[in-house]
Amino acid sequence: MEDLVEVYELQADMPVGVMDSGLGGISVLQKIRQVLPQENCIFFGDSAHAPYGDKSLAEIRQLTANVVNNLLRQRVKAVVIACNTASSAAGAILREKYPWLPIIAIEPALKPAVLHKIGGRVLVLATSTTLREKKFKKLMESYEDKAEIISMPLPGLPEFVERGELDSPALREFLQKHFSALGDKKIDCGVLGCTHYPFVRPVIQELLGEEVAIFDGAEGTARQLRRQLDMRGLLNMRGKNGEVIWQNSSKDTHLIELSKQLLG
């Protein structure tokens, strides 16, 4: 990981830094804008290095640290890791490195899914790294006696979203192929454990069945950010709406346009 950034004083009028391996984290930014409309946010998409999901842990840690350090150099008052993969690979390490900074790291919304139907069958969709790492293993251990939990990695799905391909025959074929592995197992709840997936949620919902309850971690993350800022007296109390500053490691300027469209 890169060198430490020096400690600075956090202030309420500083922006919040939100990061993802690419554009997926915009699904979390949407909720942050709803829950904390008055905050200014810097959204940093690391699209030049997306997807993170099939990289080594060391690489994901390095890339995440680079983005977080970049945000710190811009003097953010909090960092939201709006990427489940980066959270599971680097969240704990970054918290240890920057104990003075609120770092909110998303995780798959397994709890609300399990509690929605105790004894039901929950399908967790996420990257291979998220599903393999300690953070999710621990989460699973807390709930595996309350539901049947099936984990399914979907390598290749973030790339559809990065291209802005949110519904197409190729996307449907891709998802259908993966879901066919479920055979005739009936699913009660689905968890979108990668922040890219909510952008293709209507197709996932249609293919899994309209009766399947689908959860993602965006709202919980936004509320957690509000709690953390509030606790430290860092909420921006001014009356007017905040702005989003778009940044991306890719030189493809079309990505900023696509980012704005995804935010809606």
Per the CB < 8 A criterion, the answer to whether 91 and 230 are in contact is no
In the complex, the smallest distance separating the C-beta of residue 175 from ligand DGL, rounded to whole angstroms, is: 16
The least CB distance from residue 133 to ligand DGL, in Å, is: 11
Among 195, 221, 236, 249, binds ligand DGL (CB under 6 A): 195
Rounded CA-CA distance 130/106 in Å is: 11
Within its chain, how far is the Cα of 107 from the centroid? 7
- Out of 103, 194, 208, 234, the active site residue is 194
> Which residues, 161 to 180, sit near ligand DGL by CB under 6 A?
none
- Cα angle vertex 140, ends 139, 143, to 5°? 95
Could you say which residues in the range 53-72 bind ligand DGL, by CB under 6 A? Answer: 53
Cα(153)–Cα(85) distance, integer angstroms: 12
Structure-token pair, residue 54 = 């099939």
Catalytic (active site) residue 41? no
Could you say whether residue 20 binds ligand DGL (CB under 6 A)?
A: yes
Is the previous residue joined to 198 through a cis bond, with omega within 30 degrees of 0? no
Decide: is 83 part of the binding site for ligand DGL (CB under 6 A). yes
Q: Report if residue 24 touches ligand DGL, rule: CB under 6 A.
A: yes
Least distance between ligand DGL and beta carbon 187 (Å): 20
What the block records as the tokens of 80 is: 């939201």
Can you tell me which of 18, 19, 50, 71 binds ligand DGL, judged by CB under 6 A? 50
So which residues are the catalytic ones? 83, 194
